[in-house]
């Protein structure tokens, strides 16, 4: 039996490779995201973290948790609070391990700070960098969405995979004035709804926050970073001194209402739009944090009050904090003070939940891949300097059934394992 | 089942019961109607239809081909209301009835036709209509010279198609099913 000619096989192989390369070049942009294997540089977000006095991991170990972003630069990404290889403590956490999400398989590791990096290219006069601690991941696979009490909820059932990350720092004064925060929002549903959004989202009005215990009170705090931050939908409700005095510092015999006093709600209204303002997609998740380490106090030089200090404070009228969280912070009254960044403080922002809420797409004619500026505007079909790749299903659900997501993460606690403020 | 019992009692009360001395003779034009209980549902990749069991009605008429075969048309209807949502399904089918024992009353039924589904609250509407198949069995119990009491069971299932929410297509794999258990009166 005659063997096939080796020369013919090589020729055929070369032909097939050339044809394959040609076809790949002609193929349309698909929603899958190839990750460049080798970094061509480092992002601003990379190598930000340094260990504090309560942390025993090195910056080098921390930097090993990195990913190459779509721009080829190296970015930090999710890591556990304790490095499994060495057992050292980072002292902060980024929420739920995204590797368990079905959407992780499609989108890969999340590069923390990628939208911030693109913003510096898109608008060099409007740079907005965020710290490392605030990147918080939440996800859930195959969750049932709420289609209302009417015919939608009675006849239909939509289930979705959700993976989201918001930069939500609750330890510093940053969010008192700054409304620009990096949002990553991935959604894939049984009804065909698919959103893969990464933006710098403007949450509320720049320079101001809303009092968490009275949403009618808008507090103008100062100038935002960057100065040209756009106004956004939604709002950032954050505890201030009034909330502390109303719900935390209470007369003798009463218990503090910790959840009422210490609840942040960052209510996002993010969208993708064309240059003419035409709506392509919109989401409005609410990111909630209970028991953060800070509150706004205009009377302080750095305007940042520390909640744990309130467990040791007594007002002139005798009001003071009473209850389980302050019992923890004071070790049942045996301590006279506790630094805000002590791992024993329960005010560290590890208790969070995300209300997924509505998801709308008006993209019936496609394409499935758009490129927008970092704010989600100026959507085009091809990339441009500072643009971010966005994925949208080819569909229009704006006239369809009510489609609200559930609350994620409310039953999880990301504390322990050496986690402390700043977190 | 209470409704079914009521329907049976009404039929028995309105027709003078006589014994089965009348042979099963099938000839010429025939027609009939029936009531019972049933359930309609829509099935698709995003469906979880929580419909309940409720009233069904059936009308049919046609001609006799032979001692063993009848041909005709049939209209079936089902409605159910629970909470804020009212559901209805209907079907209009061409049916053939086969009597394996021509002297007896047992028959099997097959049909093809259009089946529709409609669910609504005060604001929104979900609809579907597709070509569907019907299978059924029943028995005609002669209770008079021209009358038969007719317990029956029908099952309808459609081909996949569009499901619409306020006229917007939200799924393309929707099938409608319907089960009916009833008692009717057939006039030959």
Q: How far apart are CA A287 and CA A264, in angstroms?
A: 8
CB proximity B162 to A under 8 Å:
no
Residue with tokens 């409005």: A284
SS3 A69: coil
Q: Between B128 and A24, name the one with better pLDDT.
A: B128
Which residues, 6+ apart, have CB-to-CB distance to B128 below 8 Å? B42, B116, B117, B161, B162, B163, B164, B174, B176
Q: How far apart are CA B69 and CA B98, in angstroms?
A: 5
SS3 B43: strand
| Banded model confidence at residue A14, pLDDT cuts 50, 70, 90 | very low
Tell me how close the Cα of B85 comes to any Cα of chain A, in angstroms.
6
SS3 A17: helix
| pLDDT tens digits for range A192-220 | 999 999 999 999 999 999 999 999 999 99
Question: Cβ(B40)–Cβ(B115) under 8 Å?
Answer: no
From the candidates B124, B162, B164, B172, which should be mutated to test the interface with A, based on the most A CB atoms within 10 A? B124
Taking CB atoms and an 8 Å limit, are B84 and A152 in contact across chains? no
Indicate whether A188 belongs to any domain: yes
Taking CB atoms and an 8 Å limit, are A154 and B123 in contact across chains? no
Residues of chain B contacting residue A401, judged by C-beta atoms under 8 Å apart:
124, 165, 170
Task: Report the phi/psi class of residue A161: left, alpha or beta, with left for phi > 0 and alpha for psi in -120 to 50.
Answer: beta
Q: Is the pLDDT of residue A17 over 50?
A: no
CB proximity A407 to B under 8 Å:
no
Q: How far apart are CA A187 and CA A163, in angstroms?
A: 7
**Interface confidence (ipTM) of the complex:** 0.84
Indicate whether A339 belongs to any domain: yes
What does the pLDDT read at residue A46?
A: 98
Taking CB atoms and an 8 Å limit, are B46 and A150 in contact across chains? no
What does the pLDDT read at residue B25?
A: 73
What does the pLDDT read at residue B82?
A: 87
CB proximity A219 to B under 8 Å:
no
What does the pLDDT read at residue A67?
A: 97
Indicate whether A1 belongs to any domain: no
Least Cα distance to A374 among A172, A29, A104, A130 occurs for A130
Considering only CB atoms, A156 lies closest to which of B46, B82, B125, namely: B46
Chain-centre distance for alpha carbon A343: 23
Q: How far apart are CA A22 and CA A234, in angstroms?
A: 47
| pLDDT tens digits for range A367-380 | 999 999 999 999 99
Residue with tokens 């099997």: B108
Least Cα distance to A188 among A126, A143, A241, A219 occurs for A143
Q: With b meaning 16 or more CB within 10 Å and e meaning fewer, what string describes A34-48?
A: eeeeebeeebebbbb
If you measure CA to CA, which chain A residue comes closest to B119?
A151
Indicate whether A21 belongs to any domain: no
CB proximity B169 to A under 8 Å:
no
Least Cα distance to A265 among A163, A355, A360, A398 occurs for A355
CB proximity A5 to B under 8 Å:
no
Angle at A144 between CA A139 and CA A150, to 5 degrees: 140
Q: Is the pLDDT of residue A91 over 90?
A: yes
Residues of chain B contacting residue A157, judged by C-beta atoms under 8 Å apart:
46-48
Count CA atoms closer than 13 A to A27's CA, side-chain side. 10
Chain-centre distance for alpha carbon B108: 13
Q: How far apart are CA A285 and CA A409, in angstroms?
A: 13
Taking CB atoms and an 8 Å limit, are A156 and B123 in contact across chains? no
| pLDDT tens digits for range B9-24 | 555 454 444 444 666 6
- Written as one string, the DSSP assignment of A198-227 is EEEEE-S-TTEEEETT-TT-EEE----SST
Indicate whether A22 belongs to any domain: no
Provide the 8-state DSSP code for A338: -
Taking CB atoms and an 8 Å limit, are A155 and B124 in contact across chains? no
On average, the pLDDT of chain A sits at 92
Phi and psi at A263, nearest 5°, equal: -135, 115
Task: Report the phi/psi class of residue A132: left, alpha or beta, with left for phi > 0 and alpha for psi in -120 to 50.
Answer: alpha
What does the pLDDT read at residue A325?
A: 98
Q: A26-30, A171-175, B150-154: which range is least confident on average? A: A26-30
Question: Cβ(B109)–Cβ(B154) under 8 Å?
Answer: yes
Which residues, 6+ apart, have CB-to-CB distance to A98 below 8 Å? A78, A104, A109, A110, A137, A139, A163, A165
| Banded model confidence at residue B55, pLDDT cuts 50, 70, 90 | very high
The neighbouring-strand residues paired with A164 are A138, A185
CB proximity B84 to A under 8 Å:
yes
Taking CB atoms and an 8 Å limit, are A152 and B124 in contact across chains? yes
Q: Is the pLDDT of residue A30 over 70?
A: no
Chain-centre distance for alpha carbon A157: 27
CB proximity A146 to B under 8 Å:
no
Indicate whether A20 belongs to any domain: no
Question: Cβ(B63)–Cβ(B71) under 8 Å?
Answer: yes
CB proximity A158 to B under 8 Å:
yes
**Mean pLDDT across A226-249:** 97
SS3 B80: strand
Q: Is the pLDDT of residue B1 over 90?
A: no
CB proximity A364 to B under 8 Å:
no
What does the pLDDT read at residue B17?
A: 44
Q: Is the dihedral of CA A169, A377, A120, A296 positive or negative?
A: negative
Q: Is the dihedral of CA A88, A90, A91, A97 positive or negative?
A: negative
Indicate whether A31 belongs to any domain: no
- Which secondary-structure segment (H or E) carries A77? none
CB proximity B119 to A under 8 Å:
yes
The neighbouring-strand residues paired with B157 are B133, B177
**Mean pLDDT across A79-88:** 98
What does the pLDDT read at residue A24?
A: 41
Q: Is the pLDDT of residue A28 over 50?
A: no
| Banded model confidence at residue B6, pLDDT cuts 50, 70, 90 | low
Indicate whether A404 belongs to any domain: yes
Q: How far apart are CA B117 and CA B99, in angstroms?
A: 31
Residues of chain B contacting residue A155, judged by C-beta atoms under 8 Å apart:
42, 47-51, 85, 87, 119, 126
A175-194 residues touching B, CB cutoff 8 A: 190-191
Dmax (CA) for chain A in angstroms is 104
Considering only CB atoms, B47 lies closest to which of A157, A399, A401, namely: A157
Tell me how close the Cα of B12 comes to any Cα of chain A, in angstroms.
37
What does the pLDDT read at residue B42?
A: 96
What does the pLDDT read at residue B83?
A: 81
- Which secondary-structure segment (H or E) carries B141? strand B141-142
Residues of chain A contacting residue B80, judged by C-beta atoms under 8 Å apart:
none
* Count of structural domains within chain A: 1
Least Cα distance to A152 among B82, B159, B54, B166 occurs for B166
Phi and psi at B151, nearest 5°, equal: -70, 140
If you measure CA to CA, which chain A residue comes closest to B117?
A155
Q: Between B145 and A309, name the one with better pLDDT.
A: A309
Q: Structural domain of residue A113, as residue ranges?
A: 40-408
Question: Cβ(A201)–Cβ(A270) under 8 Å?
Answer: yes
Q: Which domains are assigned to chain B?
A: 2-75+82-187 (2.40.160.20)
What does the pLDDT read at residue A10?
A: 38
DSSP-derived pairing of the beta strands A159-167 and A180-189:
antiparallel
What does the pLDDT read at residue A401?
A: 86
| Banded model confidence at residue A22, pLDDT cuts 50, 70, 90 | very low
Tell me how close the Cα of A88 comes to any Cα of chain B, in angstroms.
46
B1-40 residues touching A, CB cutoff 8 A: none
Q: Is the pLDDT of residue A8 over 80?
A: no
Question: Cβ(A91)–Cβ(A420) under 8 Å?
Answer: yes
Cis upstream peptide for A226 (omega within 30°): yes
Taking CB atoms and an 8 Å limit, are A191 and B47 in contact across chains? no
What does the pLDDT read at residue A32?
A: 52
Count CA atoms closer than 13 A to A219's CA, side-chain side. 25
What does the pLDDT read at residue B188?
A: 87
What does the pLDDT read at residue A21?
A: 40
| pLDDT tens digits for range A94-104 | 999 999 999 99
On average, the pLDDT of chain B sits at 90
| pLDDT tens digits for range B85-109 | 999 999 999 999 999 999 999 999 9
What does the pLDDT read at residue A195?
A: 98
CB proximity B126 to A under 8 Å:
yes
Question: Cβ(A89)–Cβ(A53) under 8 Å?
Answer: no
Question: Cβ(A166)–Cβ(A147) under 8 Å?
Answer: no
If you measure CA to CA, which chain A residue comes closest to B82?
A154
**Mean pLDDT across B37-64:** 95
Q: Is the dihedral of CA A105, A111, A114, A115 positive or negative?
A: positive
- Which tokens is B64 given? 């006799």
Task: Label residue B106 exposed, middle or buried (CB < 10 Å: 0-12, 13-18, 19+).
Answer: middle
CB proximity A143 to B under 8 Å:
no
Total residue length of chain B: 188
| Banded model confidence at residue B27, pLDDT cuts 50, 70, 90 | confident
Q: A228-232, A274-278, B102-106: which range is least confident on average? A: B102-106
**Mean pLDDT across A148-169:** 95
| Banded model confidence at residue A221, pLDDT cuts 50, 70, 90 | very high
Taking CB atoms and an 8 Å limit, are A399 and B121 in contact across chains? no
Q: Between B122 and B133, name the one with better pLDDT.
A: B133
């Amino acid at each position: 039996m005659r063997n096939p000619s080796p020369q013919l096989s090589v020729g055929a192989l070369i032909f097939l490779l050339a044809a394959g390369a040609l076809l790949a070049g002609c193929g349309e942009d698909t929603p899958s995201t190839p990750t460049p294997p080798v970094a061509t540089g480092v992002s601003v977000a990379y190598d930000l973290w340094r260990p504090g006095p309560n942390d025993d991991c090195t910056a080098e170990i921390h930097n090993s948790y990195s990913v190459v972003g779509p721009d080829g630069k190296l970015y930090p990404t999710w890591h556990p609070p304790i490095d499994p290889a060495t057992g050292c403590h980072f002292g902060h956490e980024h929420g739920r391990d995204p590797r368990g999400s079905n959407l992780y398989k499609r989108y890969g590791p999340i590069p923390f700070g990628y939208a911030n990096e693109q913003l510096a290219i898109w608008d060099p006069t409007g740079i907005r960098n965020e710290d490392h601690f605030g990147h918080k991941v939440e996800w859930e696979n195959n969750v049932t969405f709420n289609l209302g009490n009417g015919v939608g909820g009675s006849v239909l059932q939509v289930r979705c995979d959700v993976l989201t990350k918001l930069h939500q720092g609750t330890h510093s004064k940053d969010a008192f004035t700054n409304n620009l925060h990096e949002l990553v929002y991935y959604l894939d549903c049984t009804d065909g709804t698919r959103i893969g959004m990464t933006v710098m989202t403007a949450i509320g009005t720049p320079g101001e926050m809303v009092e968490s215990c009275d949403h009618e009170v808008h507090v103008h705090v100062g100038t935002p970073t960057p100065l040209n931050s756009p106004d956004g939908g939604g709002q950032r409700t954050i505890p201030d001194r009034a909330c502390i005095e109303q719900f935390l510092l209470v007369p003798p015999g009463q218990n503090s209402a910790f959840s009422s006093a210490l609840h942040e709600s960052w209510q996002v209204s993010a969208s993708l739009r064309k240059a003419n303002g035409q709506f392509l997609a919109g989401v409005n998740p609410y990111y909630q944090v209970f028991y953060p380490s800070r509150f706004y106090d205009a009377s302080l030089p750095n305007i940042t009050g520390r909640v744990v200090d309130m467990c040791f404070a007594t007002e002139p009228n005798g009001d003071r904090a009473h209850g389980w969280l302050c019992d923890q912070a004071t070790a049942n009254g045996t301590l006279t003070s506790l630094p805000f960044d002590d791992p024993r403080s329960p005010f560290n922002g590890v208790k969070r939940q995300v209300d997924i809420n509505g998801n709308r797409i008006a993209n019936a004619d496609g394409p499935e891949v758009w490129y927008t500026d970092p704010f989600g505007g100026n959507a085009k079909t091809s990339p441009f300097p500072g643009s971010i790749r966005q994925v949208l299903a080819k569909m229009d659900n704006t006239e369809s059934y009510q489609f609200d997501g559930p609350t994620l993460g409310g039953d999880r606690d990301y504390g322990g394992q050496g986690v402390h403020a700043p977190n | 089942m209470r409704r079914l019992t009521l329907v049976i009692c009404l039929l028995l009360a309105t027709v003078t019961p006589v014994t089965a001395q009348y042979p099963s003779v099938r000839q010429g034009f025939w027609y009939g109607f029936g009531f019972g209980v049933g359930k309609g549902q829509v099935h698709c990749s995003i469906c979880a239809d929580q419909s309940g069991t409720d009233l069904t009605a059936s009308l049919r008429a046609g001609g006799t081909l032979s001692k063993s075969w009848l041909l005709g048309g049939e209209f079936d209807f089902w409605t159910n209301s629970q909470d804020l949502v009212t559901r209805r399904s209907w079907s209009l089918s061409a049916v053939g009835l086969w009597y394996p024992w021509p002297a007896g009353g047992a028959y099997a039924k097959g049909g093809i036709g259009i089946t529709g589904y409609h669910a609504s609250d005060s604001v929104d509407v979900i609809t579907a209509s597709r070509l569907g198949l019907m299978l059924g069995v029943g028995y005609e119990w002669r209770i008079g010279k021209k009358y038969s009491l007719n317990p029956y069971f029908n099952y309808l299932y459609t081909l996949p198609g569009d499901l619409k929410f306020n006229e917007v297509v939200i799924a393309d794999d929707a099938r409608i099913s319907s089960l009916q258990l009833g008692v009717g009166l057939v006039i030959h």
